[in-house]
Amino acid sequence: MNAYLFLKQAHMGFAFTSIALFALRYGAMLCYPRLLGWKIVRIVPHVVDTFLLVCGVALAILLHIDPVRQPWLLAKIAGLIAYVILGTLALKRGKTREARMAAGVLALLAVGYIVAVAFSKRALPF
């Protein structure tokens, strides 16, 4: 397997693991918040997200994709920032349960947008 295929499959694997872990933690926040305090639940998503980002940046370098010239990549990076901020509000920083619930739904919409951009290679995929 060449470096491109390896990085792309790793990137996609980390992306879907990141989304699954977020959805599970969101479910835990609603039904079993004590779980969010577990060390493994706090650490593993950060490790996955770091590898997701590293593989994404490595792919962009390998393919010589300049985010300034390729709006879809810039859109993914902006979407990732929104996903991180909304995810933090949903799991930790939201002041009320309602605010955390709304932030969680918006975080899932943000990551859905990122996946749509990734597959379509368009900043406006819909």
Q: Which residue ranges make up the site for ligand HEM (CB under 6 A)?
A: 8, 11-12, 15, 18, 52-53, 56-57, 59-60, 63, 65, 76-77, 80, 83, 111, 114-115, 118-119
Minimum CB distance to ligand HEM, residue 78 (Å)? 10
Task: Tell me, rounded to whole angstroms, the distance of Cα 73 from its chain centroid.
Answer: 14
d(CA 16, CA 92): 22
CA angle at 36 for the pair 35 and 38, rounded to the nearest 5°: 70
> Least CB distance from residue 48 to ligand HEM, whole Å?
10
Which residue's CB is nearer to ligand HEM, number 70 or number 95?
Answer: 70
Q: How far apart are CA 109 and CA 23, in angstroms?
A: 12
14 or 29, CB closer to ligand HEM? 14
